[in-house]
Amino acid sequence: MLDNAFVEAFNLIVSGSPELTEILWLSVQVSLTALFFSITLGLPIGTSLAITEFPGKRACVTILNSLMGLPPVVVGLLVYLLLSRSGPLGVLGLLYTPTAMVIAQVVLITPIIAALAYQVMDDLHREYRDLFQSLRIPLSKAVPTYLWDARYSLVTSVLAGFGRAISEVGAVIIVGGNIDHLTRVMTTAIALETSKGELAIALALGIILLTLALIVNAAVTTVRTLGLRNAYV
């Protein structure tokens, strides 16, 4: 039975099953959209924390690092309460839509990108702060230099965020509802098909998800290697 399921799974992948293609496309679309907004929010937050000094900065950094470990189901519950009919944004009718899934993923991965960006930018700021101050270079001109110098590490942070988003299941199933042809993504489809005993589809989606994870990890390794190599050029 299991052998047949693997054979059927590979046949579904090779044949380009429309069902798998639809689920894969929605998964990538939702995750990339969430990644875009998380980069837009996370990089400025991490950079601002790194280069500015203010009372309570250490507490903010601690909170940011703690948010990296947010339980997905808790995030899903909070976003559900926010978007439900009785919630403050219920009038928008976003619950059980791809937009709700994007919001949940943004909440999950923004702290990851922001915290990793903070670590990178803080190290650079400590290294170059005295030099830039002696040259009277303002922060407005120093920040682009930091970003360029940290480009490989920041790309690694972004890839880590994408990997977190594409593999998310707890939050998206709560706010998305796993509705066929509307909000069904790879992780939620795997959970559903496994519970139904449809192992072929679940395995096919699992193989695709593992392949994406390997691609992301390979990209992270490549970026790190390039960064180390260029550091000594």
* CATH number, position 44: 1.10.3720.10
The per-residue pLDDT for range 66-87, each reduced to its tens digit, is: 999 889 999 999 999 999 988 8
Separation CA 68–CA 117 (nearest Å): 12
Tokens of 15: 């044949």
Query: Residue 23 corresponds to which amino acid?
Result: I
Q: Are 184 and 23 in contact (CB under 8 A)?
A: yes
**Domain tally, the chain:** 1
Lowest mean pLDDT among 1-5, 26-30, 112-116, 117-121: 1-5
Range of the domain at 32: 2-231
CB neighbourhood size of 88 (10 A): 10
The per-residue pLDDT for range 133-174, each reduced to its tens digit, is: 787 877 777 788 888 888 888 888 898 899 889 988 889 999
pTM of the predicted structure, to 2 decimals: 0.89
Phi and psi at 46, nearest 5°, equal -65, -40
Separation CA 68–CA 50 (nearest Å): 17
Q: Which whole number is the average pLDDT over 180-207?
A: 88
Tokens of 78: 């909070």
Tokens of 74: 């808790």
Separation CA 51–CA 105 (nearest Å): 27
What's the start-to-end Cα distance of the chain, in Å? 55
DSSP character at residue 185? -
Question: 76: closest CA among 172, 167, 165?
Answer: 172
